[in-house]
A and B are shown apart, each in its own frame.
Chain A
Amino acid sequence: MVTGYVIRKNEYYDSVFLMRVAKRLSQQKGILQAAALMGTEKNKVLLEEIDVRGPEVSEATPGDLMVAVKAENQEALTSVLEDIDRWLTIDLGSGSRHDIRTLDEAVAMQRHSNLAVISVPGAYAAREARKALEHGLNVFLFSDNVPVESEISLKKYARERGLIVMGPDCGTAIIGGIGIGFANVVRRGPIGVIGASGTGIQEFTSLVHRAGSGISHAIGIGSRDLSDAVGGISFLTALGALDSDSQTEVITILSKPPGKLALSNLLPRILKCHKPMVVCFLGLGQESLPVDIRRGTARTLDDAAVMAVQRVTGHPPAREDADSSNFRKLAEREQVNKNPEQRYLRGIFAGGTFCFQAQQILQDAGIVVHSNAPLHGNLKLADPMRSEEHTLVDMGTDDFTVGKPHPMIDSRMRFDRILAESQDPDVAILLLDFVLGFNASPDPAGELVPAIQEAKGAAKKRGGSLSIVASICGTEGDPQNFPQQVKVLEEAGVAVFPSSAHAAQFCALLSANLSEVTRAK
Protein backbone atom coordinates (compact mmCIF):
# COMPACT_ATOMS: atom_id res chain seq x y z
CA MET A 1 0.00 0.00 0.00
CA VAL A 2 1.27 3.50 -0.88
CA THR A 3 0.09 7.02 -0.18
CA GLY A 4 0.66 10.29 -1.99
CA TYR A 5 -0.70 13.77 -2.36
CA VAL A 6 -0.79 16.84 -4.55
CA ILE A 7 -1.08 20.38 -3.19
CA ARG A 8 -2.34 23.12 -5.53
CA LYS A 9 -1.60 26.58 -4.22
CA ASN A 10 -4.40 29.18 -4.52
CA GLU A 11 -6.83 26.84 -6.17
CA TYR A 12 -10.20 26.85 -4.41
CA TYR A 13 -13.15 24.50 -4.97
CA ASP A 14 -16.37 24.17 -3.01
CA SER A 15 -16.80 21.25 -0.62
CA VAL A 16 -19.65 19.57 -2.53
CA PHE A 17 -17.63 19.57 -5.73
CA LEU A 18 -14.60 18.15 -3.89
CA MET A 19 -16.70 15.40 -2.30
CA ARG A 20 -17.71 14.32 -5.77
CA VAL A 21 -14.10 14.43 -6.95
CA ALA A 22 -12.99 12.29 -3.97
CA LYS A 23 -15.76 9.81 -4.63
CA ARG A 24 -14.82 9.46 -8.29
CA LEU A 25 -11.13 9.09 -7.41
CA SER A 26 -11.87 6.39 -4.84
CA GLN A 27 -13.76 4.41 -7.51
CA GLN A 28 -10.66 4.16 -9.73
CA LYS A 29 -8.88 0.83 -10.06
CA GLY A 30 -6.36 0.21 -7.30
CA ILE A 31 -7.42 3.22 -5.21
CA LEU A 32 -8.22 2.35 -1.59
CA GLN A 33 -9.06 5.79 -0.26
CA ALA A 34 -9.10 9.33 -1.65
CA ALA A 35 -9.58 12.77 -0.16
CA ALA A 36 -9.95 16.13 -1.90
CA LEU A 37 -10.01 18.94 0.64
CA MET A 38 -9.08 22.58 1.09
CA GLY A 39 -6.09 23.22 3.37
CA THR A 40 -7.89 24.12 6.60
CA GLU A 41 -6.44 22.98 9.93
CA LYS A 42 -9.33 20.53 10.47
CA ASN A 43 -8.80 19.02 7.03
CA LYS A 44 -5.06 18.62 7.66
CA VAL A 45 -5.92 16.58 10.76
CA LEU A 46 -8.16 14.38 8.59
CA LEU A 47 -5.25 13.71 6.25
CA GLU A 48 -3.04 12.81 9.20
CA GLU A 49 -5.65 10.30 10.28
CA ILE A 50 -5.20 8.47 6.98
CA ASP A 51 -1.38 8.68 7.32
CA VAL A 52 -0.87 11.47 4.81
CA ARG A 53 1.80 13.85 6.09
CA GLY A 54 4.40 16.14 4.59
CA PRO A 55 5.82 19.64 4.76
CA GLU A 56 3.58 20.88 1.91
CA VAL A 57 0.52 19.61 3.78
CA SER A 58 1.56 21.43 6.96
CA GLU A 59 2.06 24.65 5.03
CA ALA A 60 -1.20 24.48 3.05
CA THR A 61 -3.71 27.31 3.64
CA PRO A 62 -7.53 27.31 3.31
CA GLY A 63 -7.04 28.68 -0.20
CA ASP A 64 -4.94 25.67 -1.30
CA LEU A 65 -6.32 22.41 -2.64
CA MET A 66 -5.06 19.11 -1.15
CA VAL A 67 -5.69 15.83 -2.98
CA ALA A 68 -4.49 12.74 -1.11
CA VAL A 69 -4.72 9.15 -2.20
CA LYS A 70 -4.05 5.76 -0.64
CA ALA A 71 -3.51 3.10 -3.33
CA GLU A 72 -2.69 -0.58 -3.67
CA ASN A 73 0.48 0.18 -5.60
CA GLN A 74 2.58 2.99 -7.06
CA GLU A 75 1.12 2.58 -10.53
CA ALA A 76 -2.46 3.22 -9.39
CA LEU A 77 -1.31 6.14 -7.26
CA THR A 78 0.61 7.77 -10.08
CA SER A 79 -2.16 7.31 -12.61
CA VAL A 80 -4.52 9.37 -10.46
CA LEU A 81 -2.20 12.02 -9.05
CA GLU A 82 -0.36 12.78 -12.30
CA ASP A 83 -3.58 13.50 -14.12
CA ILE A 84 -5.39 15.43 -11.43
CA ASP A 85 -6.68 18.19 -13.73
CA ARG A 86 -9.10 15.95 -15.51
CA TRP A 87 -10.93 15.36 -12.24
CA LEU A 88 -11.15 19.05 -11.49
CA THR A 89 -13.09 20.31 -14.50
CA ILE A 90 -16.17 22.26 -13.50
CA ASP A 91 -19.07 22.51 -15.91
CA LEU A 92 -20.67 25.86 -15.21
CA GLY A 93 -23.31 25.33 -17.88
CA SER A 94 -24.15 27.54 -20.81
CA GLY A 95 -25.27 30.54 -18.76
CA SER A 96 -22.11 31.12 -16.73
CA ARG A 97 -19.07 30.93 -18.93
CA HIS A 98 -17.81 34.25 -17.60
CA ASP A 99 -14.88 34.37 -15.26
CA ILE A 100 -16.61 36.25 -12.41
CA ARG A 101 -14.52 36.38 -9.25
CA THR A 102 -16.39 38.82 -6.99
CA LEU A 103 -19.92 39.76 -6.04
CA ASP A 104 -19.31 43.29 -7.37
CA GLU A 105 -18.48 41.89 -10.81
CA ALA A 106 -21.56 39.66 -10.73
CA VAL A 107 -23.86 42.55 -9.80
CA ALA A 108 -22.36 44.69 -12.57
CA MET A 109 -23.05 41.91 -15.03
CA GLN A 110 -26.61 41.16 -13.89
CA ARG A 111 -27.94 44.41 -12.48
CA HIS A 112 -31.52 43.27 -11.97
CA SER A 113 -30.49 40.42 -9.61
CA ASN A 114 -32.68 40.05 -6.52
CA LEU A 115 -31.12 37.14 -4.63
CA ALA A 116 -27.65 36.02 -3.55
CA VAL A 117 -27.27 32.29 -2.84
CA ILE A 118 -24.26 32.02 -0.53
CA SER A 119 -22.61 28.75 0.50
CA VAL A 120 -18.99 29.67 1.25
CA PRO A 121 -17.35 28.38 4.48
CA GLY A 122 -18.88 29.88 7.64
CA ALA A 123 -15.85 32.01 8.52
CA TYR A 124 -16.35 34.06 5.33
CA ALA A 125 -20.12 33.80 4.90
CA ALA A 126 -21.17 36.87 6.89
CA ARG A 127 -18.76 39.02 4.89
CA GLU A 128 -20.26 37.92 1.57
CA ALA A 129 -23.81 38.20 2.91
CA ARG A 130 -23.19 41.76 4.09
CA LYS A 131 -21.88 42.72 0.65
CA ALA A 132 -24.95 41.17 -0.99
CA LEU A 133 -27.29 43.13 1.30
CA GLU A 134 -25.36 46.33 0.52
CA HIS A 135 -26.12 45.65 -3.13
CA GLY A 136 -29.84 45.37 -2.30
CA LEU A 137 -29.99 41.59 -2.69
CA ASN A 138 -32.03 39.21 -0.58
CA VAL A 139 -29.81 36.46 0.80
CA PHE A 140 -30.20 32.68 0.91
CA LEU A 141 -27.38 31.76 3.32
CA PHE A 142 -26.70 28.03 3.18
CA SER A 143 -23.45 28.28 5.16
CA ASP A 144 -23.42 27.19 8.79
CA ASN A 145 -20.96 28.01 11.57
CA VAL A 146 -21.77 31.72 11.25
CA PRO A 147 -21.49 33.41 14.68
CA VAL A 148 -24.87 34.35 16.13
CA GLU A 149 -23.76 37.98 16.60
CA SER A 150 -23.10 38.17 12.84
CA GLU A 151 -26.50 36.62 12.15
CA ILE A 152 -28.27 39.23 14.29
CA SER A 153 -26.32 42.10 12.74
CA LEU A 154 -27.00 40.87 9.18
CA LYS A 155 -30.69 40.38 9.85
CA LYS A 156 -31.13 43.81 11.43
CA TYR A 157 -29.32 45.38 8.50
CA ALA A 158 -31.55 43.45 6.06
CA ARG A 159 -34.72 44.47 7.91
CA GLU A 160 -33.80 48.18 7.65
CA ARG A 161 -33.62 47.75 3.87
CA GLY A 162 -36.74 45.66 3.27
CA LEU A 163 -34.62 42.57 2.60
CA ILE A 164 -34.47 39.09 4.12
CA VAL A 165 -31.63 36.82 5.18
CA MET A 166 -32.80 33.21 4.80
CA GLY A 167 -30.34 31.44 7.08
CA PRO A 168 -27.58 30.97 8.05
CA ASP A 169 -27.85 27.19 7.97
CA CYS A 170 -30.74 27.44 5.52
CA GLY A 171 -30.97 24.30 3.40
CA THR A 172 -34.14 24.85 1.44
CA ALA A 173 -36.39 27.50 -0.08
CA ILE A 174 -38.95 27.53 -2.86
CA ILE A 175 -39.66 30.92 -4.38
CA GLY A 176 -42.40 31.12 -6.98
CA GLY A 177 -41.98 27.46 -7.88
CA ILE A 178 -38.17 27.63 -8.03
CA GLY A 179 -36.32 25.33 -5.66
CA ILE A 180 -33.19 26.75 -4.02
CA GLY A 181 -30.63 24.51 -2.30
CA PHE A 182 -32.05 21.11 -1.32
CA ALA A 183 -35.61 21.33 -2.60
CA ASN A 184 -38.16 18.99 -4.16
CA VAL A 185 -40.06 19.54 -7.36
CA VAL A 186 -43.52 20.54 -6.16
CA ARG A 187 -46.61 22.05 -7.76
CA ARG A 188 -47.29 25.76 -7.36
CA GLY A 189 -50.33 26.42 -5.23
CA PRO A 190 -51.89 28.42 -2.42
CA ILE A 191 -49.90 27.23 0.60
CA GLY A 192 -47.09 29.43 1.90
CA VAL A 193 -44.42 28.11 4.27
CA ILE A 194 -42.01 29.62 6.73
CA GLY A 195 -39.56 26.98 7.93
CA ALA A 196 -36.59 26.84 10.27
CA SER A 197 -35.46 23.46 8.96
CA GLY A 198 -34.54 22.34 5.45
CA THR A 199 -35.76 18.76 5.67
CA GLY A 200 -38.90 19.97 7.48
CA ILE A 201 -39.71 22.18 4.48
CA GLN A 202 -38.84 19.36 2.08
CA GLU A 203 -41.14 16.87 3.81
CA PHE A 204 -44.02 19.31 4.22
CA THR A 205 -43.91 20.61 0.63
CA SER A 206 -43.62 17.07 -0.79
CA LEU A 207 -46.59 15.90 1.29
CA VAL A 208 -48.68 18.89 0.18
CA HIS A 209 -47.78 18.15 -3.44
CA ARG A 210 -48.63 14.46 -3.11
CA ALA A 211 -51.94 15.42 -1.48
CA GLY A 212 -52.81 17.30 -4.69
CA SER A 213 -52.22 20.88 -3.58
CA GLY A 214 -49.21 23.14 -4.01
CA ILE A 215 -46.83 25.72 -2.63
CA SER A 216 -46.78 29.47 -3.29
CA HIS A 217 -43.46 30.07 -1.56
CA ALA A 218 -41.45 28.27 1.12
CA ILE A 219 -39.17 30.69 2.91
CA GLY A 220 -36.33 29.22 4.99
CA ILE A 221 -35.23 31.32 7.95
CA GLY A 222 -32.38 29.21 9.36
CA SER A 223 -32.19 27.02 12.43
CA ARG A 224 -31.56 29.86 14.93
CA ASP A 225 -33.96 32.55 13.75
CA LEU A 226 -36.63 31.65 16.32
CA SER A 227 -34.14 31.49 19.20
CA ASP A 228 -34.40 34.12 21.92
CA ALA A 229 -31.09 35.60 20.76
CA VAL A 230 -32.25 36.31 17.20
CA GLY A 231 -35.91 36.79 18.09
CA GLY A 232 -37.42 35.81 14.75
CA ILE A 233 -36.22 38.78 12.68
CA SER A 234 -36.40 36.88 9.37
CA PHE A 235 -39.55 35.10 10.51
CA LEU A 236 -41.38 38.42 10.85
CA THR A 237 -40.15 39.63 7.45
CA ALA A 238 -41.31 36.38 5.85
CA LEU A 239 -44.67 36.46 7.65
CA GLY A 240 -45.34 40.02 6.51
CA ALA A 241 -44.48 39.16 2.90
CA LEU A 242 -46.63 36.01 2.80
CA ASP A 243 -49.50 37.85 4.48
CA SER A 244 -49.38 40.40 1.63
CA ASP A 245 -48.72 37.88 -1.13
CA SER A 246 -51.67 37.41 -3.49
CA GLN A 247 -50.67 33.81 -4.32
CA THR A 248 -50.69 32.66 -0.68
CA GLU A 249 -53.98 31.68 0.96
CA VAL A 250 -52.73 29.72 3.98
CA ILE A 251 -49.48 30.18 5.91
CA THR A 252 -47.72 27.26 7.60
CA ILE A 253 -44.97 27.67 10.17
CA LEU A 254 -42.55 24.77 10.69
CA SER A 255 -39.91 24.72 13.41
CA LYS A 256 -38.47 22.98 16.40
CA PRO A 257 -39.58 24.68 19.63
CA PRO A 258 -38.85 28.43 19.46
CA GLY A 259 -37.25 30.27 22.37
CA LYS A 260 -39.80 31.14 25.07
CA LEU A 261 -39.16 34.85 24.86
CA ALA A 262 -39.14 34.84 21.07
CA LEU A 263 -42.41 32.93 21.01
CA SER A 264 -44.17 35.30 23.39
CA ASN A 265 -42.99 38.28 21.31
CA LEU A 266 -44.01 36.69 18.01
CA LEU A 267 -47.42 35.34 18.99
CA PRO A 268 -49.26 38.69 18.83
CA ARG A 269 -48.02 39.17 15.26
CA ILE A 270 -48.96 35.59 14.32
CA LEU A 271 -52.45 36.13 15.70
CA LYS A 272 -52.83 39.37 13.73
CA CYS A 273 -52.18 37.57 10.45
CA HIS A 274 -55.00 38.02 7.91
CA LYS A 275 -54.73 34.48 6.55
CA PRO A 276 -55.45 31.07 8.07
CA MET A 277 -52.40 29.62 9.79
CA VAL A 278 -51.08 26.14 10.50
CA VAL A 279 -48.39 26.01 13.16
CA CYS A 280 -46.12 23.01 13.66
CA PHE A 281 -43.57 23.47 16.43
CA LEU A 282 -42.13 19.95 16.63
CA GLY A 283 -41.45 18.86 20.19
CA LEU A 284 -43.59 21.60 21.75
CA GLY A 285 -46.70 20.61 23.68
CA GLN A 286 -49.96 22.42 22.82
CA GLU A 287 -50.17 23.63 26.41
CA SER A 288 -47.29 26.01 25.65
CA LEU A 289 -49.43 27.88 23.11
CA PRO A 290 -52.34 30.25 23.72
CA VAL A 291 -55.85 28.94 23.12
CA ASP A 292 -56.35 31.14 20.02
CA ILE A 293 -53.66 29.30 18.14
CA ARG A 294 -54.13 25.76 19.42
CA ARG A 295 -56.80 24.89 16.87
CA GLY A 296 -54.25 25.62 14.15
CA THR A 297 -51.43 23.54 15.59
CA ALA A 298 -50.11 20.31 14.16
CA ARG A 299 -48.14 17.70 16.09
CA THR A 300 -46.26 16.30 13.07
CA LEU A 301 -45.28 17.45 9.59
CA ASP A 302 -47.94 15.07 8.19
CA ASP A 303 -50.66 16.65 10.30
CA ALA A 304 -49.45 20.09 9.20
CA ALA A 305 -49.73 19.10 5.53
CA VAL A 306 -53.22 17.63 6.01
CA MET A 307 -54.41 20.72 7.91
CA ALA A 308 -52.96 23.14 5.37
CA VAL A 309 -54.58 21.32 2.43
CA GLN A 310 -57.85 21.15 4.32
CA ARG A 311 -57.72 24.90 4.98
CA VAL A 312 -57.51 25.65 1.23
CA THR A 313 -59.82 22.95 -0.13
CA GLY A 314 -62.31 22.73 2.71
CA HIS A 315 -61.90 18.97 3.03
CA PRO A 316 -59.09 16.66 4.18
CA PRO A 317 -56.94 15.08 1.46
CA ALA A 318 -56.98 11.34 0.85
CA ARG A 319 -54.14 10.10 3.05
CA GLU A 320 -51.42 8.03 1.49
CA ASP A 321 -50.85 5.88 4.55
CA ALA A 322 -52.09 2.35 4.83
CA ASP A 323 -55.23 2.02 6.96
CA SER A 324 -54.76 0.78 10.49
CA SER A 325 -55.53 -2.86 9.66
CA ASN A 326 -52.79 -2.87 7.00
CA PHE A 327 -50.52 -1.20 9.50
CA ARG A 328 -51.15 -4.04 11.96
CA LYS A 329 -50.77 -6.72 9.29
CA LEU A 330 -47.45 -5.28 8.25
CA ALA A 331 -46.36 -5.19 11.90
CA GLU A 332 -47.32 -8.88 12.26
CA ARG A 333 -45.27 -9.72 9.17
CA GLU A 334 -42.24 -7.92 10.56
CA GLN A 335 -42.52 -9.57 13.97
CA VAL A 336 -41.90 -13.10 12.78
CA ASN A 337 -38.59 -14.92 13.20
CA LYS A 338 -37.19 -12.48 15.73
CA ASN A 339 -34.70 -13.87 18.24
CA PRO A 340 -35.60 -13.22 21.91
CA GLU A 341 -32.68 -10.80 22.32
CA GLN A 342 -33.81 -8.67 19.38
CA ARG A 343 -35.38 -5.75 21.24
CA TYR A 344 -33.90 -2.53 19.97
CA LEU A 345 -34.65 0.07 17.37
CA ARG A 346 -31.83 1.94 15.62
CA GLY A 347 -32.67 4.98 13.53
CA ILE A 348 -29.97 6.18 11.14
CA PHE A 349 -31.04 9.55 9.77
CA ALA A 350 -29.82 11.86 7.03
CA GLY A 351 -32.41 14.53 7.90
CA GLY A 352 -32.09 16.18 11.32
CA THR A 353 -35.77 17.07 11.53
CA PHE A 354 -36.73 13.48 10.78
CA CYS A 355 -34.58 12.30 13.68
CA PHE A 356 -36.20 14.92 15.92
CA GLN A 357 -39.76 14.15 14.82
CA ALA A 358 -39.23 10.39 15.20
CA GLN A 359 -38.03 10.96 18.77
CA GLN A 360 -41.19 12.92 19.50
CA ILE A 361 -43.40 10.15 18.08
CA LEU A 362 -41.57 7.43 20.01
CA GLN A 363 -41.68 9.52 23.17
CA ASP A 364 -45.45 9.92 22.74
CA ALA A 365 -45.57 6.10 22.59
CA GLY A 366 -43.58 5.87 25.84
CA ILE A 367 -40.30 4.82 24.20
CA VAL A 368 -37.17 6.57 25.49
CA VAL A 369 -34.25 6.64 23.07
CA HIS A 370 -30.60 7.66 23.04
CA SER A 371 -29.51 10.19 20.45
CA ASN A 372 -26.60 12.44 19.54
CA ALA A 373 -29.28 15.15 19.13
CA PRO A 374 -31.75 14.22 21.89
CA LEU A 375 -35.21 15.70 22.25
CA HIS A 376 -35.94 16.98 25.76
CA GLY A 377 -36.53 13.92 27.95
CA ASN A 378 -34.37 11.58 25.87
CA LEU A 379 -30.82 10.47 26.57
CA LYS A 380 -27.62 11.87 25.06
CA LEU A 381 -25.42 9.21 23.47
CA ALA A 382 -22.05 9.02 25.22
CA ASP A 383 -20.40 8.35 21.87
CA PRO A 384 -22.25 9.28 18.65
CA MET A 385 -20.42 6.47 16.87
CA ARG A 386 -21.82 3.80 19.21
CA SER A 387 -25.53 3.06 19.68
CA GLU A 388 -27.04 2.05 23.01
CA GLU A 389 -30.39 0.28 23.47
CA HIS A 390 -32.95 2.26 21.39
CA THR A 391 -30.92 4.84 19.46
CA LEU A 392 -31.78 7.44 16.85
CA VAL A 393 -28.74 9.07 15.34
CA ASP A 394 -28.72 12.23 13.23
CA MET A 395 -25.80 11.69 10.86
CA GLY A 396 -26.02 15.20 9.43
CA THR A 397 -24.49 16.80 12.54
CA ASP A 398 -20.89 17.95 12.98
CA ASP A 399 -20.27 14.68 14.88
CA PHE A 400 -20.09 13.07 11.45
CA THR A 401 -19.73 15.65 8.70
CA VAL A 402 -16.47 17.52 9.39
CA GLY A 403 -14.50 17.01 6.18
CA LYS A 404 -16.96 14.37 5.02
CA PRO A 405 -19.98 14.51 2.72
CA HIS A 406 -23.39 15.12 4.27
CA PRO A 407 -25.44 11.89 4.23
CA MET A 408 -28.02 13.53 1.97
CA ILE A 409 -25.32 13.87 -0.71
CA ASP A 410 -23.41 10.65 -0.17
CA SER A 411 -24.59 7.54 1.67
CA ARG A 412 -21.17 6.10 2.57
CA MET A 413 -21.32 6.94 6.28
CA ARG A 414 -24.86 5.56 6.64
CA PHE A 415 -23.80 2.47 4.69
CA ASP A 416 -21.08 1.77 7.26
CA ARG A 417 -23.39 2.51 10.18
CA ILE A 418 -26.03 0.08 8.89
CA LEU A 419 -23.38 -2.65 8.71
CA ALA A 420 -22.15 -1.77 12.22
CA GLU A 421 -25.69 -1.98 13.64
CA SER A 422 -26.27 -5.29 11.89
CA GLN A 423 -23.45 -6.83 13.96
CA ASP A 424 -25.41 -6.18 17.15
CA PRO A 425 -27.65 -9.22 17.85
CA ASP A 426 -29.94 -7.09 20.06
CA VAL A 427 -31.12 -4.97 17.13
CA ALA A 428 -34.58 -5.75 15.77
CA ILE A 429 -35.43 -2.72 13.63
CA LEU A 430 -33.51 -0.23 11.53
CA LEU A 431 -35.28 3.03 10.68
CA LEU A 432 -33.98 4.97 7.69
CA ASP A 433 -34.94 8.14 5.83
CA PHE A 434 -34.31 8.85 2.16
CA VAL A 435 -34.33 12.41 0.88
CA LEU A 436 -34.80 13.13 -2.81
CA GLY A 437 -34.76 16.43 -4.67
CA PHE A 438 -32.29 18.86 -6.19
CA ASN A 439 -28.69 18.48 -4.99
CA ALA A 440 -29.36 15.29 -3.00
CA SER A 441 -27.69 11.99 -3.92
CA PRO A 442 -28.77 10.83 -7.40
CA ASP A 443 -29.70 7.37 -6.07
CA PRO A 444 -30.00 7.31 -2.27
CA ALA A 445 -31.93 4.01 -2.15
CA GLY A 446 -29.60 2.25 -4.58
CA GLU A 447 -26.55 3.36 -2.60
CA LEU A 448 -27.82 1.69 0.59
CA VAL A 449 -29.43 -1.47 -0.79
CA PRO A 450 -26.21 -3.55 -0.62
CA ALA A 451 -25.81 -2.62 3.07
CA ILE A 452 -29.49 -3.38 3.71
CA GLN A 453 -29.16 -6.80 2.12
CA GLU A 454 -25.98 -7.58 4.05
CA ALA A 455 -27.57 -6.46 7.32
CA LYS A 456 -30.63 -8.62 6.76
CA GLY A 457 -28.36 -11.54 5.85
CA ALA A 458 -26.36 -11.14 9.08
CA ALA A 459 -29.53 -11.31 11.21
CA LYS A 460 -30.76 -14.33 9.28
CA LYS A 461 -27.47 -16.14 9.90
CA ARG A 462 -28.06 -15.68 13.64
CA GLY A 463 -31.50 -17.27 13.22
CA GLY A 464 -33.39 -14.00 13.51
CA SER A 465 -34.69 -11.38 11.16
CA LEU A 466 -33.98 -7.67 10.85
CA SER A 467 -36.87 -5.32 10.06
CA ILE A 468 -35.90 -2.34 7.96
CA VAL A 469 -38.37 0.53 7.92
CA ALA A 470 -37.98 3.58 5.69
CA SER A 471 -39.61 6.74 4.48
CA ILE A 472 -38.91 8.63 1.28
CA CYS A 473 -39.19 12.40 1.16
CA GLY A 474 -39.84 13.57 -2.37
CA THR A 475 -42.15 13.71 -5.36
CA GLU A 476 -42.50 12.04 -8.74
CA GLY A 477 -41.00 15.18 -10.31
CA ASP A 478 -37.68 14.84 -8.47
CA PRO A 479 -34.58 13.88 -10.47
CA GLN A 480 -34.16 10.60 -8.54
CA ASN A 481 -37.41 8.98 -9.79
CA PHE A 482 -39.56 8.53 -6.69
CA PRO A 483 -41.43 5.32 -7.76
CA GLN A 484 -38.13 3.68 -8.69
CA GLN A 485 -36.65 4.53 -5.28
CA VAL A 486 -39.68 2.93 -3.57
CA LYS A 487 -39.43 -0.15 -5.78
CA VAL A 488 -35.72 -0.68 -5.13
CA LEU A 489 -36.27 -0.56 -1.38
CA GLU A 490 -39.36 -2.77 -1.39
CA GLU A 491 -37.54 -5.36 -3.49
CA ALA A 492 -34.82 -5.39 -0.82
CA GLY A 493 -37.50 -6.25 1.78
CA VAL A 494 -37.82 -2.76 3.28
CA ALA A 495 -41.18 -1.61 4.68
CA VAL A 496 -41.53 1.76 2.94
CA PHE A 497 -43.85 4.46 4.29
CA PRO A 498 -45.03 7.66 2.62
CA SER A 499 -43.69 9.92 5.35
CA SER A 500 -41.11 9.99 8.09
CA ALA A 501 -43.83 10.32 10.73
CA HIS A 502 -45.59 7.18 9.51
CA ALA A 503 -42.35 5.23 9.47
CA ALA A 504 -41.68 6.30 13.06
CA GLN A 505 -45.25 5.48 14.13
CA PHE A 506 -44.83 2.03 12.60
CA CYS A 507 -41.56 1.54 14.49
CA ALA A 508 -43.30 2.55 17.73
CA LEU A 509 -45.97 -0.10 17.12
CA LEU A 510 -43.41 -2.73 16.16
CA SER A 511 -41.20 -1.94 19.18
CA ALA A 512 -44.17 -2.19 21.52
CA ASN A 513 -45.17 -5.55 20.00
CA LEU A 514 -41.63 -6.88 20.29
CA SER A 515 -41.43 -5.87 23.96
CA GLU A 516 -44.67 -7.75 24.59
CA VAL A 517 -43.37 -10.83 22.79
CA THR A 518 -40.11 -10.65 24.78
CA ARG A 519 -42.01 -10.33 28.05
CA ALA A 520 -44.29 -13.26 27.08
CA LYS A 521 -41.23 -15.41 26.37
Chain B
Amino acid sequence: MPNKLEELLHQGPIAINIGVVDFAGTLQTQGVQVVHVIWAPPAGGDPELVELLDQLL
Protein backbone atom coordinates (compact mmCIF):
# COMPACT_ATOMS: atom_id res chain seq x y z
CA MET B 1 0.00 0.00 0.00
CA PRO B 2 1.48 3.41 -0.93
CA ASN B 3 2.14 5.74 1.95
CA LYS B 4 0.15 8.78 0.89
CA LEU B 5 1.58 11.01 3.62
CA GLU B 6 5.10 10.33 2.32
CA GLU B 7 3.84 11.19 -1.17
CA LEU B 8 2.43 14.46 0.16
CA LEU B 9 5.73 15.35 1.85
CA HIS B 10 7.63 14.51 -1.33
CA GLN B 11 5.33 16.31 -3.82
CA GLY B 12 4.14 19.21 -1.68
CA PRO B 13 0.45 20.02 -1.29
CA ILE B 14 -2.04 19.98 -4.15
CA ALA B 15 -5.10 21.01 -2.23
CA ILE B 16 -8.85 21.07 -2.04
CA ASN B 17 -10.10 23.68 0.43
CA ILE B 18 -13.46 23.29 2.13
CA GLY B 19 -14.59 26.02 4.52
CA VAL B 20 -12.62 29.17 5.36
CA VAL B 21 -11.91 30.82 2.01
CA ASP B 22 -8.84 32.64 3.37
CA PHE B 23 -7.03 29.30 3.67
CA ALA B 24 -7.39 28.79 -0.09
CA GLY B 25 -6.07 32.31 -0.69
CA THR B 26 -3.01 31.67 1.48
CA LEU B 27 -2.19 28.49 -0.42
CA GLN B 28 -2.61 30.27 -3.76
CA THR B 29 -0.31 33.05 -2.61
CA GLN B 30 2.36 30.40 -2.02
CA GLY B 31 1.92 29.00 -5.52
CA VAL B 32 -0.08 25.91 -4.51
CA GLN B 33 -2.71 24.48 -6.87
CA VAL B 34 -5.96 24.70 -4.92
CA VAL B 35 -9.62 24.19 -5.68
CA HIS B 36 -11.98 25.92 -3.27
CA VAL B 37 -15.31 24.27 -2.51
CA ILE B 38 -18.14 26.73 -1.89
CA TRP B 39 -19.53 24.77 1.02
CA ALA B 40 -22.92 25.07 2.75
CA PRO B 41 -24.39 22.97 5.55
CA PRO B 42 -26.15 19.96 4.02
CA ALA B 43 -29.91 19.61 4.50
CA GLY B 44 -30.17 23.23 5.62
CA GLY B 45 -28.05 22.51 8.67
CA ASP B 46 -30.26 19.86 10.25
CA PRO B 47 -27.83 17.19 11.57
CA GLU B 48 -30.56 14.53 11.93
CA LEU B 49 -31.65 15.01 8.35
CA VAL B 50 -28.01 14.82 7.24
CA GLU B 51 -27.63 11.48 8.98
CA LEU B 52 -30.81 10.21 7.35
CA LEU B 53 -29.63 11.33 3.91
CA ASP B 54 -26.24 9.68 4.42
CA GLN B 55 -27.96 6.41 5.26
CA LEU B 56 -30.11 6.61 2.13
CA LEU B 57 -27.27 7.45 -0.27
Binding site for B on A (CB under 8 A): 10, 12, 14-17, 38-40, 61-63, 90-96, 98-103, 105-107, 109-110, 112-121, 123-124, 127-128, 132, 136-138, 142-143, 161-164, 175-181, 216-217, 237-238, 240-242, 244-245, 247, 438-439
Contacts between chains A and B (CB distance < 8 A), count:
193
Query: Knowing A178-B13, A217-B9 touch, does A117 contact B2 (C-beta < 8 A)?
Result: no
Residue in contact with B38 in the complex, picked from A101, A121, A181, A217, CB distance below 8 Å: A101
Q: Look across to chain A and name the residue whose beta carbon is closest to the beta carbon of B15.
A: A115
Q: Look across to chain B and name the residue whose beta carbon is closest to the beta carbon of A238.
A: B5
A interface, over-half SS: loop
Provide the residues of chain B in CB contact with A116, threshold 8 Å. Answer: 15-18
21 A-B residue pairings within 8 Å (CB atoms): A62-B44, A63-B45, A93-B24, A95-B28, A96-B36, A101-B40, A117-B15, A118-B18, A118-B19, A119-B18, A120-B39, A127-B50, A138-B4, A142-B19, A176-B10, A178-B13, A178-B32, A179-B30, A180-B27, A244-B6, A439-B26
Q: Are B45 and A245 in contact (CB under 8 A)?
A: no
Query: Knowing A93-B24, A102-B37, A107-B16 touch, does A123 contact B5 (C-beta < 8 A)?
Result: no
Binding site for A on B (CB under 8 A): 1-30, 32-42, 44-47, 50, 54
A182 to B20, CA, bound (A): 12
Provide the residues of chain B in CB contact with A110, threshold 8 Å. Answer: 14, 16, 33, 35
Q: Are B5 and A142 in contact (CB under 8 A)?
A: no
In the assembled complex, how far is the CB of residue B50 from the closest CB belonging to chain A, in whole angstroms?
7
Q: Are A123 and B47 in contact (CB under 8 A)?
A: yes
A440 to B3, CA, bound (A): 32
Provide the residues of chain A in CB contact with B36, threshold 8 Å. Answer: 92, 96, 100
Query: Knowing A112-B14, A115-B14, A178-B12 touch, does A17 contact B35 (C-beta < 8 A)?
Result: no
In the assembled complex, how far is the CB of residue B9 from the closest CB belonging to chain A, in whole angstroms?
5
